[in-house]
Amino acid sequence: MWVFGYGSLIWKVDFPYETRFPGFVRGYVRRFWQGSKDHRGTPTNPGRVVTLIPHAEYLRTHSAHDPHAETANGVSIAECWGVAYRIADADVEAVKAHLDHREKNGYDCVEVDVFHPAVKGADGELVPVVHGALVYCATSANDSFLGPDAGVDEIARQIALTKGPSGWNADYLLGLCHSMQVLAPNYPDPHLVALERAVRQHIELINAADPPPAVLRVFPDFDTGDAEIHRVLEVDVVEVARLEKERARLALKPSNGDSYTAKPEDKER
């Protein structure tokens, strides 16, 4: 089983995995539009966390309310970078149960293909590194969906002020922004860039208030976790794709000794 993480699963990995690699999914837009009552906020003061919005739904329903609806610097907003994890067969049941609980507040599983710029077919076009990775998405139909109506500054203010059992909401945002700057520096997400700038400004205003807050807010120090994030970049993604292709070939091989003739589409995988 493969799992694709695009939020806290990038840097807060509390489950066993065999291998991982940085990559992106197509056809989804990452936005801080999901309310968090259980991790980065409370039922009375919810925080905000990311979800993936199907691009077709985004264009139909949300793009008119989003200032970052256009492609930025040639980077499509319908491509979302993150990290894919391969889970050993023996761990699948336990990891799936753990993630179902961790992502319980409005999230459902969908399957996605994960790409990387280094993995291409014979025609030079990108092909998936892995097919059918699980990803947790909170749809706009769930009760905790907040959407874009508040606007960037108000969303940033909410993130700057809220805290839940898992810590400050701002730490979640800043951790994600920092991870993306390391993993995909050539593919900036304008939504994340704008929110990071606005959240930092709000925290500076909170600290400069008169009278000052009882405890000054401190920006997270990411140096401790940087080595772990950078190790993701050391993975040979082409080799990961080769191994996945071999696994797929072996899975299609008959177990009764009959010969198997590869189909043309198998060669493209």
Question: What residues act catalytically?
Answer: 103
For 69, other C-beta atoms within 10 Å of its C-beta total 16
CA distances from 52 to 109, 135, 153, 170, 227 (A): 11, 9, 21, 19, 27
Q: Report the distance separating Cα 109 and Cα 50, nearest Å.
A: 15
How many Cα atoms occupy the beta-carbon half-sphere of 36 within 13 Å?
Answer: 28
On whether the CB atoms of residues 259 and 212 are closer than 8 A, the answer is: no
Structure token digits, residue 152 = 């960037």
Structure token digits, residue 251 = 């899975």
On whether the CB atoms of residues 54 and 10 are closer than 8 A, the answer is: no
For 118, other C-beta atoms within 10 Å of its C-beta total 14
In the three-class reduction of DSSP (H, G, I as helix; E, B as strand; rest coil), residue 9 is classed as helix
Classify the C-alpha dihedral 139-145-151-155 as positive or negative: negative
End-to-end CA distance of the chain: 17
